[in-house]
Amino acid sequence: MQQWREKKERGERITALTAYDYPTARLLDEAGVDIILVGDSLGMVVLGYEDTTQVTLQEVVHHTRAVVRGTQRALVVADLPIHTYDTPADAVANARQLIGAGAKAVKLEGGASHRAQIEEILDAGIPLMAHIGMLPQQVREEGGYKLKGRTPAEAEILLRDAQAVEAAGAFAVVLEIVAAETARQISAAIKIPTIGIGSGAHCDGEILVTHDLVGLFPWFVPKFVKPEADVAAEMRKAFEAFIKRTRGSAAPPPESQAAPV
């Protein structure tokens, strides 16, 4: 995973998007995205859950297999769902299941508090991407998706988290909904790439939920996302056109139908 540090050293921005199925993964791979994340965000944009806290390991395993089938060059990273890495032993056992499904690396949420889990996963030979800032798996305790790193004290905690995951061996760290200046400071302070989502322009790369990027989940769009397309609207048009065409077509009379051979 040294190549990711080298990208940062060269100033090359890292691109990352989510996928949960074969066709999306193949399109992302063909487009040249660097990292494809099988995120537990699939709980909301694919499975219809309220948040990520209902996602199971087997659901991520299932979707990881589909994504891997559509990927040839991008790095496939799979999320460890909530409560699958409560202990270092659990973290390793469940990370191995994701690697067995074809992922090349795993991601978990948490900084210094999860250093032991990160180190155990790395010791097992499994590359790991860390995730700090807003942690979606804690959204119920947090009472929503809130900006992190707004005060000097909060910024210091996040910096320590970033340094902890770097020291533990993570090859990159996601900064989710972190104040832009704090994200800039963290990015300058560590040697592994920071991959931002809603964290300003100073991270070493960016990740988005693909459904948000292309307008495929119109019922909720994060404030920090500017959709590049309106796929949902185009799909609605296609569905309505099909319904109109089908309902407007008269069935041929029985006598005009071909007789069975």
Residue 33 lies in a domain: yes
Residue 240 lies in a domain: no
- pLDDT in the model for residue 130: 98
Residue 184's domain comprises 2-230
- pLDDT in the model for residue 1: 85
- pLDDT in the model for residue 144: 84
- pLDDT in the model for residue 176: 98
Segment 144-174, tens digit of pLDDT: 889 999 999 999 999 999 999 999 999 999 9
Segment 180-220, tens digit of pLDDT: 999 999 999 999 999 999 999 999 999 999 999 999 999 99
Residue 183 lies in a domain: yes
Q: Do the beta carbons of residue 109 and residue 137 sit within 8 Å?
A: yes
Active site residues: 176
Residue 48 lies in a domain: yes
Whole-number percent of the chain with pLDDT over 70: 95
Split into its structural domains, the chain has a count of 1
Alpha carbon distance 119, 38 (integer Å): 22
Residue 256 lies in a domain: no
Residue 247 lies in a domain: no
| pLDDT under 70: residue ranges of the chain | 250-261
Query: What CATH number is associated with residue 184?
Result: 3.20.20.60
Residue 192 lies in a domain: yes
- pLDDT in the model for residue 210: 98
Residue 244 lies in a domain: no
- pLDDT in the model for residue 260: 59
* Residue 157 CB neighbours (<10 A): 17
Distances (CA, A) of 7 to 1, 151, 171, 181, 255: 11, 30, 11, 22, 70
